[in-house]
Structure 1
C-alpha cells in the first residue's frame, strides 16, 4: 500500500506506451537482474562487515572493480558470481519463475523535493498532433 505522500495518477497513453515499450525490451530485464545481484552482494558485504577494499583484496581485484559491481553495471559470468559468493562465505540461490502478466497496472508518482512544473506540461497528444503517434514513441526511447 502506498504511503500517504504518494498520490495515484492517471496514466496517459503516452506514459503507458513508453513504459510498456521499455518493459518489453531484454535490456530492461537484464539491467534489473544486474541491479538485484549488486544489491545482494552489497547486503552480504554489510552482513559480513566487509568493505569494498576487503572484497577487492579477497578477489585479487582493485576497489574500482568492486565499485563497478555495486553500481550494477557488471556483466557477470557464472564463475565470477560463484567466486564472489565463496569470498563472502555465501552461496547463490537462483530460481527461474513463471511471470504472470497483470491485467492492469497502476502507476504512482511521489511528490517530494521536486517542484511541480509551472509552465504547461506537454502531453502525448502535443507530439501526436505534430509528428504522429509512432514517431513520438520512437522519439522518447
Structure 2
C-alpha cells in the first residue's frame, strides 16, 4: 500500500512538472507516431511517452526495454477530461500482466519486477471516450537493484 501511495503521489508531482517547460525539456520525451495500433508497431520511449486516442477503436502500444534488474513503475496521470482509459502492461508475447484505469481524477499506475534483457509493452485503449482525441502521457520510473 505504501508503494501505491508513493506512486500516486509521484503522478501528481509529474503532472505539475510536465506543465513546467524548462523541466520537461530535460526529459526523454517521445511523441506518438502512427501507426502504433499493434504490438508489432510499438515504439520505445526513454522517460515520457505522449500520445492520443482518436476514437473508440483506437489503441496505442509502446515498447519498454529493460536494461537492469529492478522495479518498473509506469504512471498515466489524469488528463482532466471525462475520458476513461485502460492502461495495461504486457509481456513480450502480448499477455497482460497488470492493468489499471485512468479517469478524470484518478491516475493509473502499474509497478512490476523486471529483469535485464526483458521486453514489455504498454497498451493504452479507451474504456469510455466522451471527448475525441484523448491526449495522454505515460511516465516511466525505475528502481534498480545493485
**TM-score normalised to the size of structure 2?**
0.24
More strand by share: 2
Which structure has the higher relative contact order (CA within 8 Å, separation 6+)? 1
| Larger gyration radius, structure 1 or structure 2 | 1
More helix by share: 1
**TM-score normalised to the size of structure 1?**
0.24
